[in-house]
Amino acid sequence: MTRRIVIVGAGIVGSSLAGALAGRDGCEVTVLDRSPAGRLYGSTGHAPGYVGVLGESPVLTDLARATVRIYRDLTDDDAAGGAPPDGGAGFEETGCLEVATSPAAYGTLRGRAARAAAAGLAARLVGPEEAAALAPRFVDAETAVAGLHFPGDGTARAGLLTAVQRRRAEAEGAEFADGAEVTGLEIRAGRAHGVWLADGTLVPADDTVLASGVWGPLLAARAGVQLPLTPVAHPYVYGGPRRERHPRGPFVRWPEHHVYARDHGDRDGIGTYDHELRPVAPADLGVRAEEPWPGEPFDGAVAAALALLPAAHRFAPAVRLNGVFSVTPDNMPLLGPFDGLPGLWSATAVWVTHAAGAAAALAEAMDGDEPGAGFAALSPDRFAGEPAGVLRRRALRHYNDIYAAG
């Protein structure tokens, strides 16, 4: 018997899930997204793509490990297609360097080094000179106290990896519909039976998966269920193109300052979480996970972030991005079935860092298998009964800590 699966959202999560499910015996997979062909209107289209394997909990570390394995495989798969203009690939093992500029922050790095060792991940504490040598444009040896180098971390070109996942899924028979706006869910007799499109078409399904990113709560609400994720706006800026090209350096994070920087090969980028919170009400979201640049408070926060770089390498922002992504009350994804509504699944609040591993785990759960320790803790129902306002405040409290993991 055919099992019809509809996935709402063709970002890195929905496309990865289609890749994991397509070709399985009896599965007919359809992915719907309102973005036009070749465009990614969701968060995936904006992410600078840091992939740090050591998570705040073992389940996140497991998902990131699995993700890196899959991204490497997709990157090899794509190599035959020719490299993009800046020479970057889907996933690059650039490593990550965490930098401390105070004794207290150095203590945090030592703690993380111990956690990495316990998780079997390579990580090495380095002095300020070595940190600056590893990332000369980003690390100022004068202000750095120490660094923690994770050679196995990397950076992802999320758009490229999403395209490769889609290509693979389509080769296995999955169908993707671009420009397809989902307006509601078909709920009958306490079960989800598919989705309604804006043109009034019903797309019937045995399983409906919300991989709709920051818009997930809007669709869930139409089915009468709560999806406790909060969209937040986040600043990231790019410098102008650089003439000189060189091997890409590591992703750099200053956890105590809530700042990170990425070498994009042909230009630099920097992002910061150290600013006044800017939640976006789901009802106010447009169709792109992007908001207008607000001026202050982002200008001031970006200027403070740039001040961490060596004076000679501070750059004037050429492109300012105010992207939107999800935070949850415990900083973990919302992944799994909705217990109260059979046939409906969530694959939301998932980072690029965890996307392919999360999709593989969800595909296993949909097959009725046990996807591994810790999966149940990601249930989208885990906050059932708690008031929405309390959950929202808890989620927002985590925002500044995203790159300040202890």
Ligand X SMILES: Cc1cc2nc3c(=O)[nH]c(=O)nc-3n(C[C@H](O)[C@H](O)[C@H](O)COP(=O)(O)OP(=O)(O)OC[C@H]3O[C@@H](n4cnc5c(N)ncnc54)[C@H](O)[C@@H]3O)c2cc1C
Sign of the Cα pseudo-torsion (210, 212, 213, 214, in order): negative
Residue type present at position 333: P
Q: Taking the chain, what is the end-to-end CA distance rounded to the nearest angstrom?
A: 49
Q: According to DSSP H, which parts of 145-215 are helical?
A: 158-171
Size of the site for ligand X (CB under 6 A): 43
Q: Specify the residue for token string 């300012």.
A: 320
**In terms of CB distance, is 47 or 308 closer to ligand X?**
47
- Give the count of beta carbons closer than 10 Å to the beta carbon of residue 235: 25
Q: What is the DSSP letter of 45?
A: G
| Distance of alpha carbon 121 from alpha carbon 124, whole angstroms | 10
| Distance of alpha carbon 108 from alpha carbon 190, whole angstroms | 48
Query: Residue 18 CB, nearest distance to ligand X (Å)?
Result: 11
Q: 297: cis peptide before it, omega within 30°?
A: yes
E strand spans, 53-169: 91-92, 96-100, 124-126, 146-150, 154-156
Query: Residue 43 CB, nearest distance to ligand X (Å)?
Result: 4
Is 236 one of the binding residues for ligand X (CB under 6 A)? yes
Q: What is the DSSP letter of 147?
A: E
**In terms of CB distance, is 133 or 318 closer to ligand X?**
318
Query: Residue 255 CB, nearest distance to ligand X (Å)?
Result: 14
Helix (H, G, I), strand (E, B) or coil at 268: strand
Mark residues 11-50: x for contact with ligand X by CB under 6 A, - for none.
Answer: xxxx-----------------xxxx----xxxxx-xxxxx
Query: Residue 86 CB, nearest distance to ligand X (Å)?
Result: 17
Q: Specify the residue for token string 């759960």.
A: 365
**In terms of CB distance, is 33 or 266 closer to ligand X?**
33
**In terms of CB distance, is 11 or 239 closer to ligand X?**
11
Closest CA to 215 of 43, 32, 40: 43
Query: Residue 346 CB, nearest distance to ligand X (Å)?
Result: 10
Query: Residue 270 CB, nearest distance to ligand X (Å)?
Result: 11
Query: Residue 362 CB, nearest distance to ligand X (Å)?
Result: 12
**In terms of CB distance, is 128 or 349 closer to ligand X?**
349
Contact assessment for residue 165 and residue 19, using Cβ atoms and an 8 Å cutoff: yes
| Distance of alpha carbon 148 from alpha carbon 84, whole angstroms | 30
Pick from 60, 66, 97, 182 the residue near ligand X by CB under 6 A: 182
Mark residues 320-359: x for contact with ligand X by CB under 6 A, - for none.
Answer: -x-xxx----------------------x-xxxx------
**In terms of CB distance, is 128 or 346 closer to ligand X?**
346
Mark residues 253-292: x for contact with ligand X by CB under 6 A, - for none.
Answer: ------------------------------------x---
Q: At a CB cut-off of 8 Å and minimum separation 6, what does 253 contact?
A: 50, 52, 96, 97, 98, 99, 259, 260, 403
Closest CA to 325 of 290, 362, 369, 360: 290
| Distance of alpha carbon 135 from alpha carbon 112, whole angstroms | 20
Mark residues 45-84: x for contact with ligand X by CB under 6 A, - for none.
Answer: -xxxxx----------------------------------
Is 175 one of the binding residues for ligand X (CB under 6 A)? no
Pick from 211, 259, 365, 405 the residue near ligand X by CB under 6 A: 211
**In terms of CB distance, is 293 or 315 closer to ligand X?**
293
**In terms of CB distance, is 51 or 126 closer to ligand X?**
51
**In terms of CB distance, is 147 or 282 closer to ligand X?**
282
- Give the count of beta carbons closer than 10 Å to the beta carbon of residue 156: 29
Query: Residue 87 CB, nearest distance to ligand X (Å)?
Result: 20
- Give the count of beta carbons closer than 10 Å to the beta carbon of residue 191: 13
Restricted to residues 113-172, the positions that interact with ligand X (CB under 6 A) are 158
**In terms of CB distance, is 325 or 375 closer to ligand X?**
325
* Site stretch for ligand X (CB under 6 A), options 19-27, 108-116, 175-183, 383-391: 175-183
Binding site for ligand X (CB under 6 A): 8-14, 32-35, 40-44, 46-50, 158, 180-182, 211-215, 219, 234, 236, 289, 321, 323-325, 348, 350-353
